């Protein structure tokens, strides 16, 4: 996991052992991208710290990067245990 720059980068291995709080404070999210996955069944679930869903991304048939539109204000960012499928990386672009 790399949250020292923009974007924050979280891999499936980072959330395999348990949930991860990526950012504990209110923040502005530009968009979230899911990439480097291997199957159309691979998914990524990203939540706010209050438990509400922020984004759910599902792999595309062409295995290209899947991304959200602009999200806006978020009450922190967390990813539940196994929130990223066995393969894949999430990039969270923020202000």
- pLDDT of amino acid 44: 97
Q: Which of 89, 93, 66 is nearest to 7 (CA)?
A: 93
Task: Return the domain boundaries, the chain.
Answer: 8-94
- pLDDT of amino acid 77: 97
Name, in order, each residue with C-beta under 8 angstroms of 8's C-beta and a sequence gap of 6 or more: 1, 2, 22, 23, 77, 91, 92, 94
pTM of the model: 0.93
Give the mean model confidence (pLDDT) for residues 8-27. 96
Give the mean model confidence (pLDDT) for residues 12-20. 95
């Amino acid at each position: 996991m790399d949250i020292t720059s923009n974007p924050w980068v979280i891999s499936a291995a980072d959330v395999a052992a348990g949930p991860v709080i990526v950012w504990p404070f209110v923040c502005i999210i530009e968009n979230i991208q899911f990439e480097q996955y291997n199957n159309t069944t691979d998914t990524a679930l990203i939540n706010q710290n209050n438990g509400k869903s922020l984004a759910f991304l599902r792999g595309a048939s062409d295995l290209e990067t899947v991304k959200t539109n602009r999200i806006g204000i978020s009450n922190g960012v967390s990813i539940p245990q196994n929130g990223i499928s066995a393969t894949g990386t999430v990039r969270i672009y923020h202000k």
